[in-house]
Homo-oligomer: A and B are copies of this chain.
Amino acid sequence: MTIKEVCKRFGISSDTLRYYERVGVIPEVHRTPGGIRDYSEEDIGWVETAVCFRSAGMPIELLTEYVRLYREGDCTIAARFALLKEARERILAERQKYDDALNKMSYKISVYERAMQTGKLDWDNGPCGCECQTEKE
């Protein structure tokens, strides 16, 4: 599969694909004798994983670390397992923030729905009744 096809399939640019390979977000991609990238099913699998995790905010560095461990072989299975579990916690925590924001957003939208009738609204930052986290540590 050519780089162009992979771009289209995942909705990212060929520059980004080459960048991912260069910095190690995915392992080296199979090439034609002329040196042109020819993505195997395995390569595609790595790209899919990278795109999926990147769009959930996983940093490049974490993905490269995973690939680095993967290339070291089976002796790093435990390390990769630990890394994945930590990554899952991160994504769960991030998603919670999205839920908080959705609650706040819904509150505001309901305030505006009422305001659309009266034509006036002074203050829309009141207590939203949701569980947005406002205190840290």
Contact = CB atoms under 8 A, between A and B. Distances in A.
B104 A52 contact: yes
Copies of this chain held together in the complex: 2
B52 A101 contact: yes
Nearest to A26: B125
Interface size class of chain A, counting residues whose CB lies under 8 Å from the partner chain: 35 or more
A88 B106 contact: yes
Contacts of A11: 136-137
A57 to B, nearest CB: 8
A77 B116 CA distance: 7
Contact of A109 (B58, B85, B116): B85
B56 A116 contact: no
Interface of A: 8-11, 42, 45-46, 48-49, 51-53, 55-58, 74, 77-78, 80-81, 84-85, 87-88, 91-92, 94-95, 97-102, 104-106, 108-109, 112-113, 115-116, 119-121, 123, 125-126, 132, 134-137
B77 A125 contact: no
5 contacts: A10-B136, A52-B132, A77-B115, A95-B102, A98-B98
